[in-house]
Amino acid sequence: MLELIGYSFSPFVRKVMVTLEYKGLDYKHDPLNPFTEKERLLPLNPKGAVPVLIIDGKPMPESSDICHWLDEQYPLPSIYLSNKDDIQTRVEATEQWADSELASVFGGGMFFQRIIKPLFLNQACDDERVQSCMNEKGPAILEKLESSVPEAGYMYDDFSMADLAVSGWLRLGMLSGCDISTSRYPKLVNYLKQVYALPVYASILLKENQLDLIKQAKNTYATHFEIIE
């Protein structure tokens, strides 16, 4: 029996959710908000962060640990492309890069500032940090991705954690008003459209788009709607 704890718009949580669905696994979902429901979360994860996967009553935190565990228990299809060592290493390196650098810029510097802080923490947005992420740090990463993503298909042999991690953080950027449009990044936008269109990913995003918070973010900031329907 599997239960996923954490709201789905966190890219850390979404990595686990897409992995569960990609593997066709049954699970329950508790969309716990880690900022407003800390007292419920701390007994499951003393670090106070989501995701947590409850496996037969035992909590497992940390998105990468959870997804590696899922890949070991339910090997096909593999989200880390673990049948080829050299490719698995590259997938893991890209995931790590996304969950640190992209998380800091598109998560911490954009979505956390513009959406989470005012709505859940009653704190003011750090406009200076937002501007430096929107105008310098973000575009530097986006240009790097524009020159490295494939013309067609996924980053490595097949859909993998690399695509999942990168696309998750970029979605938060777009929801916060970051310009990721075809006119600036044609290859990247085309690549993202393909990743978001993967059926299990698309159905999760469709549900997520019904959430008030996401609607509010879209109406306030996301003027570049090409890939956020």
Question: ∠186-188-194 over CA atoms, to 5°?
Answer: 105
Contact status: 62 vs ligand GSH (CB under 6 A) = yes
The whole-angstrom distance between residue 140's C-alpha and the CA centroid of its chain comes to: 19
By the rule CB under 6 A, 49 interacts with ligand GSH:
yes
Interaction of residue 48 with ligand GSH, rule CB under 6 A = yes
Instruction: List residues bridging with 60 in a β-sheet.
Output: 53
CB of 48 to ligand GSH, least distance (A): 5
Q: Does 75 bind ligand GSH (CB under 6 A)?
A: no
The reply on whether position 10 binds ligand GSH by CB under 6 A is yes
Q: How many residues bind ligand GSH (CB under 6 A)?
A: 12
Q: Using CA atoms, how far apart are residues 164 and 192, in angstroms rounded to an integer?
A: 10
Per CB under 6 A, 168 contacts ligand GSH = no
Helix (H) or strand (E) holding 128: helix 127-132
Strand ordering across the sheet containing 28-30? 28-30, 2-5, 52-55, 58-61
- Residue 159 binds ligand GSH (CB under 6 A): no
Residues that bind ligand GSH (CB under 6 A): 10, 12, 34-35, 48-51, 62-64, 99
